[in-house]
Amino acid sequence: MSLAMRRTLSVVILALGMVGLWGWWRSPQGARAAKAEAEEAVQRAREQAAESDPRLKGAYRFERGGWIYVHLTGSPAALGFQHGFLLGPEIEDAFPAVAADMMHSTERDWPFFRQVAREMLWPKLDPEYQEELAGIAEGLHARTGSSLDVYDVVALNSFEEVPDYYVPWLNSREKTPHPPNLKSPGNCSAFVATGSWTKDGQIVIAHNNWTNYVNGERWRIIFDLQPTQGYHILMDGFPGVIASDDDFGINSAGLMVTETTISQFEGWNPDGKPEFMRARKALQYAGSIDDYTRIMLDGNNGGYANDWLLGDRKTGEIAQLELGLKAYRLWRTKDGVFAGSNWARDPKVLKLDTPDFDPNNLETSPNARRVRWEELLNQNKGQIDVALAELMLADHVDSVEKKSDPNERALCGHADTSARGVSIWAWAPYYPGGAVQAKATDSAMTKDMRLVARLGHPCGEDFHARPFLAAHPEYAWQEPYLRDMIAGPWTMFNASEHPPLTK
């Protein structure tokens, strides 16, 4: 037992003794207060003991613009431990919210997701990511005393692929009676542009994340990852998850990465490797568009199937990797633009992987936003830079109504205002979801490992939970988790930047 652990233990014993003694002679309220005080003392002792853990060396966190920036560095186990420790409170907060949504939508219990994590996902993870995920559970425990173990952490990491990809596949295979209506999600609006399309002829990449507001309001981490192996990464992300997952990131080899999901995608390969690992691995190890494509294809499980938008600042080339399971396609150019708003376009992918998707129904959110992207990008050809990208991500034009209307068809999505819902993603009317945060960068900024990010709706509008729930009692089950989503300012982040000095 280390000195630090022994010290923790002695404080714990002392504190428990105090609780016992106080409870003996004080009133029930007094006893409760004493218990709370003692628990706090235990917590402080735990944190103090863990702070001297050598695995935390070089790691730190600070907050800016509402975002939590964490610098994680070292071996896979150290990266994980730092992640779990520095973001312990945020993981403890996010885990029950995500788990509740996974269980609610799939009508499955948590042991089901733990079993999927242990039996299907874990064996296919590369050892370095197993070590990192185990490190998250250890760091979390050291910080908060959490009882979550590594399989809970793996299940959390799979929240974008298991509920809406694996479970419907399983239900159909097992002929589950009355299966829940599960659809692959329609997450995000994004583009990547280069050549004559941008102001300086170099690459501009931008993305807003669409998700439910419960998760979206918690999607506020800037991960600055400096792993021992692979490239330095700067990406946004979610507490406890090793991939960006929404996804937006750059690496020190000059790769720029984002995506939007493929609506109405169907399929799963139980023998494949988890998407969250392939996405993280590709951002960590890809130095080119070819590398990126190779890593994403290796063990493709069909989970969280995306149109990946890529840029390589070294060559000025951009690409779109439409990654279905039965088919895929890669387009690339040094002079052009690729936009995404949750539609597939390759005829083979459309036919084999999204048989129900209708690319001609312009009234649905993906196609309405596709029309708007084309208008907006064409109007701004030759002028596109990061400042303009910020405005485009906040655009409210509904291409069906041909006017500004912040709803589920605007690039800056506000599905909670729409009586239509988005049935192709199983979003019911007034679904509390839409664009929840946004990021952008360009080639020059990527060279310096910088990006800008804004929390909340990219237009700056706030979402208020209480009036929403009062007006829409059908979402009352989210009440324990749904909070106000307050927009922050566009904020710049650099890799390896140090916490601002306070006091």
| Shorter beta-carbon distance to Zn ion: residue 368 or 412 | 412
User: Which range touches Zn ion (CB under 5 A), out of 44-52, 181-189, 220-228, 411-419?
Assistant: 411-419
Helix axes 3-25, 28-51, angle to 10 degrees: 180
Of the candidate residues 406, 432, 433, 456, the single one contacting Zn ion (CB under 5 A): 406
The amino acid occupying position 388 is L
| Shorter beta-carbon distance to Zn ion: residue 20 or 489 | 489
392 vs 372: CA distance, rounded Å? 10
The amino acid occupying position 167 is V
Of the candidate residues 68, 70, 459, 485, the single one contacting Zn ion (CB under 5 A): 459
User: Which range touches Zn ion (CB under 5 A), out of 201-209, 280-288, 399-407, 476-484?
Assistant: 399-407
Query: How many residues make contact with Zn ion (CB under 5 A)?
Result: 4
User: Are the C-beta atoms of 140 and 92 separated by less than 8 Å?
Assistant: yes
| Shorter beta-carbon distance to Zn ion: residue 290 or 462 | 462
Of the candidate residues 457, 478, 482, 495, the single one contacting Zn ion (CB under 5 A): 457
DSSP structure class, residue 498: P
Closest separation in Å from C-beta 213 to Zn ion: 13
| Shorter beta-carbon distance to Zn ion: residue 410 or 452 | 410
User: Which range touches Zn ion (CB under 5 A), out of 68-76, 258-266, 410-418, 466-474?
Assistant: 410-418
The footprint of Zn ion on residues 185-204 (CB under 5 A) is: none
Nearest to residue 421, comparing CAs of 106, 179, 186, 104?
A: 186
Lookup: tokens for 378: 């064409």
Q: What is the CA radius of gyration of the chain?
A: 23
Lookup: tokens for 394: 């906040």
Q: Does the protein bind Zn ion through residue 456 (CB under 5 A)?
A: no
Q: Does the protein bind Zn ion through residue 42 (CB under 5 A)?
A: no
Q: Does the protein bind Zn ion through residue 68 (CB under 5 A)?
A: no
The amino acid occupying position 375 is E
Q: Does the protein bind Zn ion through residue 135 (CB under 5 A)?
A: no
- Residue nearest to Zn ion as judged by C-beta position: 459
- 432: burial class by Cβ within 10 Å (0-12, 13-18, 19+)? buried
Closest separation in Å from C-beta 460 to Zn ion: 8
Cβ neighbours around 47 below 10 Å, total: 15
User: Are the C-beta atoms of 239 and 218 separated by less than 8 Å?
Assistant: yes
**Which residues are near Zn ion by CB under 5 A?**
406, 412, 457, 459
